[in-house]
Amino acid sequence: MPRDSRELREVLSAAVAELDGRGWLTVVDLGRDGVAVWELYRDEAGTPRGELRWTASWSALPADDAAVDQAVVDAVGPVAHAPPLLVATNAREGRADKALERLGRRYPRAATFTGEHPVDRVLRKVIARQPLTRFYELVALRRRAAGRLELVGCQLFPIGARRGDVGRVRVRCLPSDDRGTVFAVAAYSPDTRFQLVSARAVKLPPGVYDLTAELRRPGLVHFAGLPEGSAFEPERRAWSAIVSAVPERLDRSGVVGHLICAVEVSGPADRVERRLAAAARMVEETAAELAGGLKVSLLSYGPHAHHRNGEDVPVRFDAWAAEPGRALAALHGLAGQGPAPEGYPGAARIECVLAEVAARLEAAPAPGRSALLLVGARPPCPPRSDVSQVLPCPRRNDWRIGLARLRRTGVVLAAVRDRAVRTARADDFPWHELGGGPPVDLDDLDDLGVAGLGAALGLLPKKGGHVPLPLLEPW
């Protein structure tokens, strides 16, 4: 005698639980409108799946009962693992009910059922309520010595987890390409190898995210805790392509940034305004790329007062490890004040900038890796009189020593030189040393140049330097 829908759910649940990845279960749905043959199996990741193998409406089937039965038998195929389950839904003494009776005789070991709910709906519920047969992990990256990146897994759910269970993970998302950061869930057990369950990508601002993973059903994990409006999209690249896009090492662009801008504010008003604008563009560009992860420091400086009546423009810290908005406000404030006195034309107190920044970082390192951008026209003062005939620093600060101190703390430097302002020393030697290469000309600094400077400073990603997977962060 056919059993009811409740028993069907129980039998299906038990049968799906017994699937081991090698066998399958066939379900024949004899419905009011036609016949459907479903195949239940577990994929390589151990996820239970229901696949519609064959369907036909009653009107499309032969009128002859024997021909109908043979069409169903052909669709079911060889019964090598287990007899099919035969289900008549909404039969009401029609063709489905009669076909159930006949097929029950054809498959004497098959369990037969009747019910009111469509089989596909019952299958979805049964599969959604199945416990996991493997651990689920988030595939992520971990930074090792010398910045090397390795693939690791962070467990989200144990074996036996069910729909509605949650797991938590903290990750850092780094600058990604237009496709975004890939959140990949993998399954494993002690006797099986890694198998990808799902991979979806979402475009996120770089930063740290505390995420809650909810198991919606086997094979489907939902992540909460992302910024409002974030939307996952299917990741269509092959897994091998995603892995190959992971850089061997995490360059500086993957580290939370601390941008230090030192701007010479002495000289012609239009040139000072242009220097401040260049620094502002660097802050804006970097802040947009490292949303929520950038700190900015701002220093202004000018020349020493080498004579009794000379104008002294000291090093001034207008912001230190502040939010980008505050630093931008300080830059706008400096622009509104107009230029500082021009003073001694031969040099500016860059050597004092280096010494004071080094002292601050040595005493209390700022969060993340620091990068110093120098924007000015005049070279630094030498520590003592030399053949350049540029007056030395009254404090005897040596810019080479300051540079070495900064580099020992891991600071990277770049320089933008305002060549439109003539100075007593026309060659680029000090600027070349300060910037680790030829300085960028202020008047040539377009958007591409800003991006290049950001990459040189390690604050913006280099071409091909995007990181497609999240990094694990400790709680």
Segment 336-388, tens digit of pLDDT: 999 998 888 889 999 999 999 999 999 987 766 788 999 999 999 998 887 77
**pLDDT (average), residues 123-128:** 95
**How large is the C-alpha radius of gyration of the chain?**
35
Query: What tens digit of pLDDT does each residue of 139-159 get?
Result: 999 988 666 889 999 999 999
The pLDDT, as a whole number, for residue 48 is: 95
Residue with token string 């979806």: 200
138-152, 293-307, 457-471: least confidently modelled range: 457-471
Please, which pLDDT band fits residue 260 given cuts at 50, 70 and 90?
very high
Residue 302 predicted with pLDDT over 90: yes
**pLDDT (average), residues 120-129:** 93
- Number of C-beta neighbours around residue 274 at 10 A: 17
110-114, 162-166, 274-278: least confidently modelled range: 110-114
| Domains defined for the chain, CATH in brackets | 5-128 (3.30.420.60), 135-251+468-472 (no CATH), 252-456 (3.40.50.410)
- Number of C-beta neighbours around residue 117 at 10 A: 14
**pLDDT (average), residues 206-234:** 93
Amino acid at 120: D
Which of 1-10, 12-21, 461-470 is the most confident on average? 12-21
Rounded to a whole number, what is the distance in angstroms from the first to the last CA of the chain? 58
- Average pLDDT of every residue of the chain: 87
Residue 3 predicted with pLDDT over 70: no
Q: Which long-range contacts (CB under 8 A, 24 or more apart) does 12-18 make?
A: 12/40, 12/85, 12/122, 12/123, 12/126, 13/126, 13/129, 13/130, 15/40, 15/82, 15/85, 16/40, 16/48, 16/126, 16/127, 16/130, 17/130, 17/131
d(CA 209, CA 80): 49
Strand 412-417 and strand 440-441: pairing?
Answer: parallel
Q: Which two tokens stand for residue 308?
A: 């009794």
Q: Which two tokens stand for residue 3?
A: 């059993």
- What three-state secondary structure class fits 251? coil
The pLDDT, as a whole number, for residue 426 is: 54
CB of 253 closer than 8 Å to CB of 260: no
Instruction: Calculate what percentage of the chain has a pLDDT beyond 90.
Output: 50
Residue 308 predicted with pLDDT over 70: no
Instruction: Calculate what percentage of the chain has a pLDDT beyond 70.
Output: 88
Residue 90 region by backbone torsions, left for phi larger than 0, else alpha for psi between -120 and 50, else beta = left
**pLDDT (average), residues 392-398:** 92
Task: Label each residue of 169-186 as H, E or C.
Answer: EEEEECCCCCCCEEEEEE
d(CA 220, CA 273): 54
Please, which pLDDT band fits residue 451 given cuts at 50, 70 and 90?
low
Identify any residues that bridge with 221 across adjacent strands, giving them in sequence order: 215
309-313, 340-344, 419-423, 459-463: least confidently modelled range: 459-463
Please, which pLDDT band fits residue 423 given cuts at 50, 70 and 90?
low
CA distances from 38 to 55, 113, 352 (A): 9, 15, 78
Residue 462 predicted with pLDDT over 60: no
The pLDDT, as a whole number, for residue 77 is: 84
Amino acid at 437: G
The pLDDT, as a whole number, for residue 323 is: 92
The pLDDT, as a whole number, for residue 328 is: 96
d(CA 412, CA 381): 21
Which of 186-190, 264-268, 432-436 is the most confident on average? 264-268
The pLDDT, as a whole number, for residue 449 is: 63
Please, which pLDDT band fits residue 254 given cuts at 50, 70 and 90?
very low
d(CA 290, CA 287): 5
**pLDDT (average), residues 438-457:** 73
**pLDDT (average), residues 322-333:** 95
Residue 457 predicted with pLDDT over 90: no
The pLDDT, as a whole number, for residue 277 is: 95
pTM value is: 0.62
Please, which pLDDT band fits residue 253 given cuts at 50, 70 and 90?
very low
Q: Which two tokens stand for residue 199?
A: 């991979």
Query: What tens digit of pLDDT does each residue of 60-115 get?
Result: 999 898 998 899 999 888 765 678 989 988 655 578 888 888 999 989 988 888 87
